[in-house]
Structure 1
Amino acid sequence: MPQNVQALLTVLEAQPVMPVVAVGSAAEAVDLSRALVEGGIRAIEITLRTPAALDAIRAVVAEVPEIVCGAGTVLSPKQFDDAEAAGAKFVVSPGATMEVLDAAKGSPAPLLPGAATPSELMAMLEEGYEVLKFFPAEQLGGAAYLKALAPVFPQVRFCPTGGVSPANVRDYLSLPNVVCVGGSWIAPKDAVAAGRFDEVTRLAREAAGLKA
């Protein structure tokens, strides 16, 4: 049975859009997190796609307590353990294996595992997971696919990520089985690299103001 489901829901429900970011340094992550907070965003998912990711999580947890920092793109038990040790408050995986689910058992950091097909959803329900990541959302059928799943799996809620943008975000947020979306457009790589954090704050404020 997953731990701290309510804690995870509290994080996901804190804003319509969860920033999903890959960072080049811990300092960059701190500046980015502060800009997001200024725009009204209360949580961030730092993906383990760069060598700086774990240091970035440590720095954000220590220096920007106003934001809840999680770890994304967690693919193995070791990565889960590393993310937890770095201080990640939640962990996100694009899919799910029994090994990763086992690593999550007893952890104070709740897991948001990924699932897409009906068989995967049934497997996650058997493990007690009703809050799931849906990735890559647009490539797997987008909002129309999630709408079709809703009457069959009414207890499941999703955080769709992948291809979600300002052009289609309202399509997702209008669905009863979507708790929030994951998006990278709030923190454009060029703006972050150039230090244009006022642009990040502006985009964050727009995202925080989105309503279903």
Structure 2
Amino acid sequence: MDTITKRLAQIMYIPMIKSVGVQQVDSLGTALVEGGLPVANISQQTDDGLELLRILSSHFPEIIVGGGNVQTEGEARNAIEAGARFIFSPVFDPAIIELCQMQGVAVYPVTKDGILAVEEGLKVLGFYPIEKLGGLAAIDHMADLFGLKFIAAGSITEQTVNSYLANRHVIAATGSWMIDPVLVAAEQWAQVKLAIRKTASLAQTLVR
């Protein structure tokens, strides 16, 4: 397991960023650091996603910034050039995987085909949307056959996240419940930080 993946496995809770504007980047970075989750999975399907990734990775080098919802090789390349240290992709594109591997960037594509993952030299996959793909039963099946680990995603909430993380094959989970768009729009960053801190504290109740 590479260094970034090991760090994500330690942090476990990965905020998915979809509703934050470029002008709010410093407030976001401060909330993540002070809230105890120095990681951001920034969607590349929003207007500001790439620039947000670029600024956050530059202003907050202590935060592990990744490109989320990456769907093409071009998006992956742009995210890496902007400072992404990992790529989370809902598709299984060998071109994206090869690019990330050549650049030394962790990549977590989504597939239910364990043979494909093994052929590409992958040890950790994304699993999104987790329930539509078969939930923890599907993860256990693939892990038992191919020795894979997973980052869970898809409609995960504060109430459900630990039910996934309790599985020994799930190293982390990503979701947007911590970054409430209403609070972001209202610039209520103290409340955002409290939500992040509350999620981080869930690790104390997690039994693997």
CA contact (8 A) 1:23 1:46 kept: no
For the residue of structure 2 that corresponds to 1:136, the secondary structure is: coil
Distance in structure 1 (CA, Å) of the matches to 2:33 and 2:85: 16
CA offsets per residue over residues 107-130 of structure 1, 9 Å max, x none?
132212112x2xx22111111101
Greater per-residue helix proportion? 2
Query: Which residue, 118, 128, 133 being the options, matches 2:121?
Result: 128
Is the counterpart of residue 57 in structure 1 residue 49 in structure 2? no
- Residue of structure 1 equivalent to 2:162: 170
1:150 CA drift (Å): 3.6
RMSD: 1.6
1:85 CA drift (Å): 1.0
TM-score by length of 1: 0.89
Pairs within 5 Å for 1:98-117: 98-115=94-111, 117=112
- Higher RCO, Cα 8 Å, sep 6+: 1
CA contact (8 A) 1:68 1:89 kept: yes
Paired amino acid for 1:54: L
- Residue of structure 2 equivalent to 1:93: 89
1:148 CA drift (Å): 4.1
- Residue of structure 2 equivalent to 1:194: 186
- Runs of 4+ with >4 A deviation: none
Is the counterpart of residue 183 in structure 1 residue 175 in structure 2? yes
Gaps in structure 2 of 5+ consecutive residues: none
Distance in structure 2 (CA, Å) of the matches to 1:121 and 1:33: 36
Paired amino acid for 1:136: P
Distance in structure 1 (CA, Å) of the matches to 2:138 and 2:36: 30
Identity of aligned residues (%): 27
For the residue of structure 2 that corresponds to 1:195, the secondary structure is: coil
CA offsets per residue over residues 179-202 of structure 1, 9 Å max, x none?
010111011111111111112211
TM-score by length of 2: 0.91
- Residue of structure 2 equivalent to 1:160: 152
Greater per-residue strand proportion? 2
CA contact (8 A) 1:135 1:161 kept: yes
Pairs within 5 Å for 1:60-79: 60-79=56-75
Count of equivalent residues: 204
CA contact (8 A) 1:35 1:197 kept: yes
CA offsets per residue over residues 84-141 of structure 1, 9 Å max, x none?
11111111111211222222231132212112x2xx2211111110111000112323
Paired amino acid for 1:84: I
- Residue of structure 2 equivalent to 1:14: 10
Gaps in structure 1 of 5+ consecutive residues: none
